[in-house]
């Protein structure tokens, strides 16, 4: 009788334990990644060895990685994970992806238990999940996780890189509604701390040609690097609706998850770095229909990290394609103006950067010497329009030079400086020579120097300010020190 009682108690305890600790079994193990622990470990560690950086940047706060089968995107994802120092200690990893299983107006959590694979189990932080569930926006069924691969494929990379005591918070987003995404980001922002790692799971373009994928993925990645969630959303919408990329079904299947991250870090001092981009055509050789992949990392801002810092002052970036178009547009405007004394009619692509309202300077050099330079800070019309007007102004209206002639047309080079919005400063210590242009204003007088002027002349900071105040604003060499003088800074994308 006693033996029977013990057996019954054991069975009840086992059942109770199983109820309290549900295991989410792998669904793509053996297809997306190896089912053998030995093989899986060997493959990932070979990537880590191959992509180990010369110097680790710590702490990495977030990464953006793809989630296709390892044969296609494993090496790309590994490049981002390899930037994390081996054995790095994180309390929690927030795994965030866009559900491939359905649409719903919020986020779904896998709230307790563990995710399992050949390498073992990774425990869910049920305390954090319970707190998140207090917000209705997270209270959606956990069954969306049952057949979802986008979070599962990230676990082996984490298990073989981090200290083993981390827990996970698995989150699947079911909407692209930015109002809802903003709310999700606001709630999650409290957990954006150095002790936690955010892993954003997304592939990029789906099913365009190889050539189109390179263009569209470049636009998407540039938008991510801007750190601006609004620009990212606008870029994704443009790519998906422009009709310029046949067979494209999405610019990024996890765009909602990326948007949430960008919203979380929007006002944080951080830097976003692109690690690698590729697409399935690089592996399969089939260039007719591909899927794009990228890996990126987010780290705290630090002048010693030698990576471009996301600046809240900079509202946009430009792709190489947009830069080339603007240079061609400037030259075409000058050539057309010589003949017809008006602006050419040009089909302007729907590329986001061209339609951003921002100022610009156009500089014309002839045989290495200045031949004209005119600019505007106007931010009430698109960049392409400002470039056309400033190109003709630099060619024909710079009072320092006679109007450009036909004979000179083949002897000129054009430099374009696209300006970020002006920022008023309270101390000249905020000015970084070579990075910031300056705009000095006193009453009706004003003048500016582009960032490259300081580099070209070798001036000190006070010389930079003095020459601008005297030679450009006309308020005297030390006029910038006057209490009534206002100093603004800006940055320039120069090409």
Tell whether 377 and 433 lie within a shared domain. no
Q: Does the structure show a pLDDT above 90 at 375? A: no
Number of structural domains in the chain: 3
The rounded distance, in Å, linking the Cα atoms of 293 and 285 is 15
Residue 314 belongs to a domain: no
pLDDT tens for each residue of 169-195: 999 999 999 999 999 999 999 999 999
Residue 305 belongs to a domain: no
Tell whether 351 and 382 lie within a shared domain. yes
Looking at residue 302, its pLDDT comes to 52
The rounded distance, in Å, linking the Cα atoms of 487 and 424 is 6
Q: Does the structure show a pLDDT above 50 at 99? A: yes
* Mean pLDDT on 427-454: 87
What phi, psi does 233 have (nearest 5°)?
-65, -40
Q: Of 272, 300, 328, which residue constitutes the final position of a domain? A: 300
Tell whether 145 and 265 lie within a shared domain. yes
Tell whether 292 and 384 lie within a shared domain. no
The rounded distance, in Å, linking the Cα atoms of 300 and 293 is 24
- Which of 63-67, 357-361, 404-408 comes out lowest in average pLDDT? 357-361
The rounded distance, in Å, linking the Cα atoms of 202 and 96 is 9
How many C-alpha atoms does 51 have within 13 Å on its Cβ side?
Answer: 22
Tell whether 117 and 218 lie within a shared domain. yes
What phi, psi does 364 have (nearest 5°)?
-110, 125
For the chain, give the mean pLDDT.
89
Q: What would the 3-class secondary structure string for the chain be? A: CHHHHHHHHHHHHHHHHHHHCCEECCCCECCCECCCHHHHHHHHHHHHHHCCCCCCCCCCCEEEECCCCHHHHHHHHHHHHCCCCCCECCCEEEEEEECCCCCCCCEEECCCCEEEECCEEEEECHHHHHHHCCCHHHEECHHHHCCCCCCHHHHHHHHCCECCCCEEEEEEECCCCHHHHHHHHHHHHHHCCCCEEEEEECCCCECCCHHHHHHHHHHHHHHHHHCCHHHHHHHHHHHHHCCCCCCCCCCCCCHHHHHHHHHHCCCCCEEEEEEEEEECHHHHCCCCCCEEEEEEEEEECCCCCCCCECCCCCCCCCCHHHHHHHHHHHHHHHHHHHHHCCCCCCCCCCCHHHHCECCEEEEEEECCEEEEEEEECCCCCEHHHHHHHHHHHHHHCCCCCCCCCHHHHHHEEEEEEEECCCEECCCHHHCCCCCCEEEEEECCEEEEECHHHHHHHCCCHHHHHHHHHHHHCCCCCCHHHCCCCEEEEECEEEC
- CA nearest 364: which of 402, 400, 394, 390? 394
pLDDT tens for each residue of 15-69: 444 445 689 999 999 999 999 999 999 999 999 999 988 888 889 999 999 999 9
Q: Of 419, 451, 482, which residue constitutes the final position of a domain? A: 419
Residue 364 belongs to a domain: yes
Tell whether 134 and 249 lie within a shared domain. yes
Tell whether 325 and 250 lie within a shared domain. no
Tell whether 196 and 51 lie within a shared domain. yes
Residue 357 belongs to a domain: yes
Residue 309 belongs to a domain: no
Residue 6 belongs to a domain: no
Residue 396 belongs to a domain: yes
Tell whether 139 and 197 lie within a shared domain. yes
Cβ contacts of 320 within 8 Å, gap of 6 or more = 218
**What CATH number is attached to the domain comprising 460?**
3.30.1490.150
Structural domain containing residue 384: 320-419
Name the band, by pLDDT with cuts 50, 70 and 90, for residue 312: very low
The token duo for 460 is: 């000190």
pLDDT tens for each residue of 339-350: 888 888 888 887
- CA nearest 468: which of 421, 418, 481? 481
**What CATH number is attached to the domain comprising 173?**
3.40.830.10
Residue 8 belongs to a domain: no
Tell whether 30 and 165 lie within a shared domain. yes
Q: Of 402, 419, 436, which residue constitutes the final position of a domain? A: 419
Q: Does the structure show a pLDDT above 60 at 465? A: yes
Q: How far is CA 103 from CA 100, 309, 364, in A?
A: 8, 35, 53
**What CATH number is attached to the domain comprising 340?**
3.30.700.20
Tell whether 190 and 223 lie within a shared domain. yes
Tell whether 187 and 292 lie within a shared domain. yes
């Amino acid at each position: 009788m006693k033996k029977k009682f013990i057996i019954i108690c054991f069975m009840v305890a086992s059942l109770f334990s199983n109820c309290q600790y549900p295991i989410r079994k792998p669904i793509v193990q053996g297809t997306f990644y190896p089912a053998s622990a030995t093989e899986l470990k060997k493959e990932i560690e070979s990537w880590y060895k191959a992509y180990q950086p010369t110097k680790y940047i710590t702490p990495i706060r977030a990464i953006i990685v793809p989630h296709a089968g390892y044969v296609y995107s494993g090496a790309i994802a590994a490049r981002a994970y390899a930037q994390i120092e081996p054995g790095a200690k994180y309390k929690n990893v927030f795994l965030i992806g866009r559900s491939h299983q359905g649409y719903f107006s919020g986020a779904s959590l896998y709230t307790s238990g563990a995710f399992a694979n050949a390498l073992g189990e990774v425990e869910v932080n049920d305390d954090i999940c319970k707190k998140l569930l207090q917000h209705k926006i997270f209270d959606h069924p956990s069954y969306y996780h049952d057949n979802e691969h986008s979070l599962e494929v990230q676990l082996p990379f984490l298990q073989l890189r981090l200290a083993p005591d981390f827990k996970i918070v698995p989150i699947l987003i079911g909407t692209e509604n930015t109002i809802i995404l903003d709310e999700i980001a606001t709630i999650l922002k409290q957990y954006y701390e150095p002790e936690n790692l955010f892993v954003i799971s997304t592939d990029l373009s789906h099913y365009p040609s190889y050539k189109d994928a390179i263009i569209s993925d470049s636009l998407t990645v540039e938008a991510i690097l801007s750190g601006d969630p609004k620009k990212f959303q606008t870029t994704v919408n443009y790519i998906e609706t422009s009709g310029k990329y046949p067979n494209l079904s999405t610019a990024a299947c996890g765009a909602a998850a990326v948007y949430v991250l960008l919203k979380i870090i929007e006002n944080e001092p951080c830097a976003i770095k692109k690690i690698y981009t590729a697409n399935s055509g690089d592996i399969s050789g089939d260039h007719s229909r591909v899927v794009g992949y990228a890996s990126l990392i987010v780290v705290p801002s630090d002048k010693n990290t030698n990576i471009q810092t996301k600046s809240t002052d900079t509202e946009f970036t430009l792709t190489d394609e947009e830069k080339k178009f603007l240079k061609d547009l400037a030259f075409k405007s000058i050539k057309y103006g010589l003949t017809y004394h008006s602006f050419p009619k040009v089909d302007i692509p729907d590329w986001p950067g061209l339609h951003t309202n921002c100022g610009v300077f156009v500089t014309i050099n002839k045989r290495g010497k200045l031949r004209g330079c005119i600019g505007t800070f106007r931010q009430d019309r698109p960049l392409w329009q400002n470039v056309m007007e400033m190109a003709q102004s630099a060619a024909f209206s710079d009072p320092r030079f006679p109007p450009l002639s036909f004979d000179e047309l083949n002897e000129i080079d054009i430099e374009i400086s696209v300006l970020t919005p002006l920022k008023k400063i309270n101390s000249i210590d905020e000015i970084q020579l070579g990075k910031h242009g300056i705009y000095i204003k006193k009453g009706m007088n004003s003048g500016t120097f582009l960032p490259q002027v300081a580099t070209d002349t070798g001036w000190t900071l006070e010389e930079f300010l003095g020459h601008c105040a005297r030679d450009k604003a006309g308020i005297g060499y030390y006029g910038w020190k006057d209490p009534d003088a206002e100093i603004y800074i800006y940055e320039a994308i120069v090409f």
